[in-house]
Amino acid sequence: MGKLKHPYRVTKCQFGYHKTRYWGLDKNTAQLITQFVLKNLQINNKGKMIIVIGDFIVDEFHYGQATRISPEAPNLILDLDEIKIIKGGAYNVVEHLRNLDNKVHFVSLIGRKNINQIEVDNFFCEDDELLYDDNRLRTLKTRMVAKYRHTTLLRVDQEDRFDISPKQEEKIIDIIKKLINFNECNGICIVDYCKGFVTNGLAREIINLSAEKKIKTYVDSKSRDVAKFTGAYLLKPNKNEFLLMKSLYGFAEFSDELFVGHLYKNFKIENILRTLGEDGVELYIEGKKAIDIQGHICEIKELSGAGDSLLAGTVHLHSEGTNIINAVDKANRAASIFISNGVDYRLQKSDLN
């Protein structure tokens, strides 16, 4: 029996059971199983479950020095130093949220027409719910950037902008239904770059499903058509998008607050988060301006993706119980950290303190 006690003692110590009795095997086994179950629950339910729906974009950044002018034409020559390939578009929001310990399901449709040009399937993980289309271009944005003051000299886009088919739309809706029926969802983000993935019908169906389940829907869209997002909890336009919306709805000559009141009354959008670049952000709640939040002075390395970091920080904090005003305030500060670090930086919890 003495030969048994020593290895059993070693095994117990590996799991922290220094003072556990030797002769309660059933009890000890139950305790160990409980520890494993709790650990599995911690792993599988890490953070909040959030769904992000939107366009996947491959962002290529070509960095170099621009100190010469071409003799062939009055163009700058970029002496290439570095190339970065980033998972962009809606996936910016996904990666920020995952880095903040949220469990995130990404739902999108990926083109394969130019698949030989750049292969990104290994970018994704098992929580990504994807459809593929062989007749659609995979959106690729290539930027030529001079390192001096991080100036973008040129951007080249490869993309299709036609709407997805009704059958594809139906498949996406089925995926979303499955996710919200079998998981506790704490928020849905719709990130719409107007590439034809987030159709009017898809947006409305998502928001209706969210309302039925009492799930908040956060929208960041390049579209001027606010009607497709009727009932959304939060809409985040930037400065120019907001002006285009005002013009579309005949409010170009009226005050911003009057226009936001119109949006709340007619489209039931509870919160409007308007970004103003270096001037910060404005938050309107139920048609009234709630707060002006000033921008934070910082070194600017890259503005592309700043809005995604703001949205991700806001959704993360608000889903954890922080009120919307404080969530936006902290997320705005975190976005300035992103801007000063560059395109491949992802938010950390310390950025939101």
Is the pLDDT assigned to residue 80 strictly greater than 60?
A: yes
Asked whether residue 36 falls in the same domain as residue 91, the answer is no
Question: With 70 as the cut, is the pLDDT of residue 17 above it?
Answer: no
φ, ψ for residue 64 (rounded to 5)?
-175, -170
For residues 35 and 106, state if they share a domain.
no
| Model pTM score | 0.84
- 292-310 pLDDT tens trace: 998 776 676 666 778 999 9
What are the distances in angstroms from CA 67 to CA 17, 20, 26, 79? 66, 72, 75, 8
- Whether residues 98 and 22 fall in one domain: no
Domain shared by 242 and 348, yes or no: yes
Judge whether residue 256 has pLDDT over 70. yes
Share of the chain above pLDDT 70, in %: 82
The answer as to whether 120 is a domain residue is yes
130 and 36 belong to one structural domain: no
Residue 97 lies in a domain: yes
Identify any residues that bridge with 51 across adjacent strands, giving them in sequence order: 105, 188
pLDDT of residue 295: 74
- Whether residues 224 and 308 share a domain: the answer is yes
pLDDT of residue 144: 96
In a domain, 107, yes or no: yes
Q: What would the mean pLDDT of 203-225 be, rounded to a whole number? A: 96
> Is the domain of 257 the same as that of 317?
yes
Answer whether 170's CB lies under 8 Å from 87's CB.
no
Domain that holds residue 19: 2-40
> Does residue 263 lie in a domain region?
yes
- Token pair belonging to 152: 């973008």
pLDDT band at 46 (very low <50, low <70, confident <90, very high): very low
Please list, residue by residue across 324-340, b when 16 or more beta carbons sit within 10 angstroms of its beta carbon and e when fewer do. beebbbbbbbbbbbbbe
Same domain? For 13 and 148 the reply is no
Asked whether residue 183 falls in the same domain as residue 279, the answer is yes
pLDDT in tens, 88-138: 999 999 999 999 999 999 999 999 888 666 666 678 999 999 999 999 999
Kindly indicate the confidence band of residue 45, based on its pLDDT and cuts at 50, 70 and 90. very low
Task: Quote the mean pLDDT of the chain.
Answer: 88
- CATH for 158: 3.40.1190.20
Task: Establish if 78 belongs to a structural domain.
Answer: no
Statement to judge: residues 95 and 177 lie in one domain: yes
Q: Are 180 and 107 in contact (CB under 8 A)?
A: no
| Lowest-confidence pick of 3-7, 160-164, 218-222 | 3-7
For residue 66, being part of any structural domain is answered with no
Half-sphere exposure in the Cβ direction for 135 (13 Å, CA): 5
Same-domain status, 168 and 283: yes
Handedness of CA 189, 235, 222, 157 (dihedral sign): negative
How many structural domains are present in the chain? 2
Say whether both 53 and 30 belong to one domain. no
Residue among 220, 198, 214 at smallest CA distance from 331: 220
